[in-house]
Structure 1
């Protein structure tokens, strides 16, 4: 699963299309920023997933958002004729209907939700319709799923250390 950005920079208070968040979401974004909820994970834990020792790029976990994939390298990609889009390093979670993502650009990250990710017939704006996670219920599901993923990655890394497949 990929998440698409128009530029190689975090979106923050804006959607991937560059528009401001709706009024209530903007207020919640400000509150979340003050409480530190916009950065609920450590970069060390994010990098442990992106650069895991067993060199996987995805898995399924026992969590509310069970299907996980990740990209440990950012690239520019031609999605539309003559127009490049940016695919950042990211960890994506899905339940089949929506994508939650931890997007890493440089040494910073943000958590995003992409509600139009599974539309079969997308118009151009749907490719960039992701926005910041600001609701506590969504953030709690995200945190629980990331915790399950991290536990799974550490278990697999421990197994790889004891039984290297490329050693």
Structure 2
């Protein structure tokens, strides 16, 4: 499943629907921004996942959020027939099957989002954009642990392909 944005820009302390975060979440967002907790990953590591050598688009990992998929190319998409298109950004989506934690990349910047309506199959229009910033430490910790496990998995797969005769450089014999 994709995460949907109304514009090709980060949402920051607003929901995907463009409304401000509730008061307590807004305070936590401000504190996280001040402490640098909103950017816990390097852009190089994020790009390692998005542009992995084996060109996969998802996997399962042993982590708090075991279901992972990613979109390495952003596109505009017509979500509702006859209405303005929506933006599907580059992203890495982690899920436990019920809720999604997302690293959204737009340009050279990223933000962390949580989408509670990720698995809601009977969404109304506002549910498609109900994602908001990750502000609670337990959510951030689950995402950090899952990202570390994903990065380890990607490196392992890339290393395997580099060494495997089918994928790596093949040398001819005379």
TM-score tier by shorter-chain length is over 0.9
- CA drift of 1:166 comes to 7.7
Q: Unaligned regions of 5+ residues in structure 2, if any?
A: 170-174
Q: For the residues of structure 1 that align with 2:138 and 2:28, how far apart are their CA atoms?
A: 12
Deviation at 1:165, TM superposition (A): 3.0
Q: Are 2:162 and 2:168, in contact at CA under 8 Å, matched by a contact in 1?
A: no
Supply the distance in 2 between the matched residues of 1:25 and 1:2 (Cα, whole angstroms).
Answer: 24
* 1:114 alignment counterpart: 115
- Specify the alignment match of 1:80 in structure 2: 80
CA contact (8 A) 2:28 2:135 kept: yes
**Greater Rg over alpha carbons, structure:** 2
| Alignment partner, residue 65 of structure 1 | 65
Q: Give, in whole Å, the separation in 2 of the partners of 1:30 and 1:153.
A: 32
Structure 1 segments unaligned to the other structure (5+ residues)? none
Indicate the residue corresponding to 1:142 in structure 2: 143
Task: Supply the RMSD in Å over aligned alpha carbons.
Answer: 1.0
Residues 67-117 of structure 1: CA deviation (Å, up to 9, x unaligned): 000000000000001220000000000101001100000000000000011
- Give, in whole Å, the separation in 2 of the partners of 1:125 and 1:116: 10
Match of 1:17 in 2: 17
Between 10-19 and 156-165, the greater mean CA deviation after superposition: 156-165
> Residues of 1 paired with 2:92 and 2:9: CA distance?
16
Equivalenced residues, count: 167
TM-score normalised to structure 2 length: 0.94
CA contact (8 A) 2:71 2:89 kept: yes
2:172 is matched with which residue? Answer: none
